[in-house]
Amino acid sequence: MNLKNSNHGFSGFDLYSYISNKNILINDELNKIINSSRDSSLLTKAMGYSLLSGGKRIRPVLCIASSEAVGGTEYDVLPAACALEMIHTYSLIHDDLPAMDNDTLRRGKPTCHVTFNEAAAILAGDALLTLAFQILSSIQTNINAAKWLKVIHLVSLAAGYKGMIEGQMRDIASENSNISLKELEDIHSLKTGALIEASVESGAILGNGNSEQIEHLKIYAKNIGLAFQITDDLLNVKGDPAITGKAVGSDKTRNKNTYPALLGITGSENHAKKLITDALHTLETFDNKSNSLRAIALYIIERER
């Protein structure tokens, strides 16, 4: 299946330039937020170390792209985009802790607890999570307060005990045991998909999308969220640590339930491609303002990091 050549009404979008430009905007804003406290405490250093260490910024980019797809602007959603990246970074810091995955490499650098210490890493994660909601709830833009409240609510659900944290808990609990494909899909959808879905949905709400557009974008997000984690599983098998910036082979060592373990490499690749095809179909009623979302969907399964 060659997704690039199939007819989804989209061609020639320069995703590299798009992501690079959005990353400049997002990184500038994250720098401003972290440096605004003007202190050099261990806590602020640990927060900045992980937050400003060069992740792909796919969640904030999705938030912006989703807003633009329904006619909004990047400025409408920039604070929300940054808050989503903070929540994501907190989850990575905690995921790398000895009590969780016990990883020493992240984004090409030693993990937060290795560079600082475990207490600093736990607190830096806590502080980033809290700061995200501080930013979400102190917005001064033209978008009405009811929309912001809706976004705060959906982000708290996605990040919380019925979302990402529940997914992480089930993931850890299922190590060393056999689970079904449905159980694995639920874990991945919660652990990784929920925050990706929240990124797309909040962009659509703040960009003033109508209810039909928002519903379509939620289906798009559900599909790409799952495909994103399948690709993450595949990169843990066949990725290059020099490119991914994190350990390869660790899922197998820990006897984790993953798509490659359940479906094999080719089965996992085909499943991810099917999800991306479905995601692209949900964008059929959208005009070319959603070409960034189309290109991101393809990138998600082609990425090398």
Tokens 């990169």 correspond to 235
Which of positions 179-238 make contact with ligand GRG (CB under 6 A)?
A: 191-192, 229, 232
Stretch of 33-41, 52-60, 177-185, 206-214 contacting ligand GRG, by CB under 6 A: 52-60
Report how far residue 124's alpha carbon sits from residue 237's, in angstroms, rounded to the nearest whole number: 30
Select the residue interacting with ligand GRG from 94, 113, 271, 294 (CB under 6 A).
Answer: 94
Of the pair 74, 85, the CB lying nearest ligand GRG is at: 85
117: Cβ–Cβ under 8 A, 6 or more apart, which residues? none
Tell me which of 81, 92, 136, 190 binds ligand GRG, using CB under 6 A. Answer: 92
Q: Token pair of 286, please?
A: 């959208």
In the list 27, 50, 67, 91, the residue contacting ligand GRG (rule: CB under 6 A) is 91
Q: Give bridge partners of residue 109 from the DSSP assignment.
A: 106
Between 31 and 288, whose beta carbon lies closer to ligand GRG? Answer: 31
Assess 165 for contact with ligand GRG (CB under 6 A).
yes
Q: Which is nearer to ligand GRG, 8 or 22 (CB)?
A: 22
Q: How far apart are CA 18 and CA 299, in angstroms?
A: 12
56 near 305, Cβ under 8 Å? yes
Q: How far apart are CA 198 and CA 151, in angstroms?
A: 8
Token pair listed for 269: 């690749």
- Compare residues 191 and 216 and give the one whose CB is closer to ligand GRG: 191
Stretch that binds ligand GRG, among 51-59, 63-71, 198-206, 252-260 (CB under 6 A): 51-59
Side-chain-side CA neighbours of 8 within 13 Å: the count stands at 26
* 164 forms part of the interface with ligand GRG (CB under 6 A): yes
Looking at 6-14, 87-95, 147-155, 268-276, which segment touches ligand GRG (CB under 6 A)? 87-95
In the complex, least distance from residue 277 CB atom to ligand GRG, rounded to whole angstroms = 21
Interface residue with ligand GRG among 48, 55, 225, 260 (CB under 6 A) is 55
Least CB distance from residue 10 to ligand GRG, whole Å?
Answer: 23
Rounded to an integer, what distance in angstroms lies between the CA atom of residue 256 and that of residue 250?
9
CA angle (54, 59, 57) in 5-degree steps: 15
DSSP string, 202-221: HHHHHTT--HHHHHHHHHHH
CB of 33 to ligand GRG, least distance (A): 17
- The least CB distance from residue 34 to ligand GRG, in Å, is 16
When asked if residue 107 is in the footprint of ligand GRG (CB under 6 A), the reply is: yes
Q: Binding of ligand GRG at residue 168 (CB under 6 A)?
A: yes
227 CB-near residues (< 8 Å, 6+ apart): 272, 275, 276, 279, 297, 300, 301
Nearest of 45, 68, 75, 104 to residue 204 by alpha carbon: 68
Q: Where are the alpha helices (DSSP H) in 36-180?
A: 42-51, 58-69, 74-95, 112-115, 118-136, 145-159, 164-173
Which residue sits closest to ligand GRG, CB atoms considered? Answer: 55
Binding site for ligand GRG (CB under 6 A): 55-56, 58, 88, 91-92, 94-95, 100, 107, 164-165, 168, 191-192, 229, 232
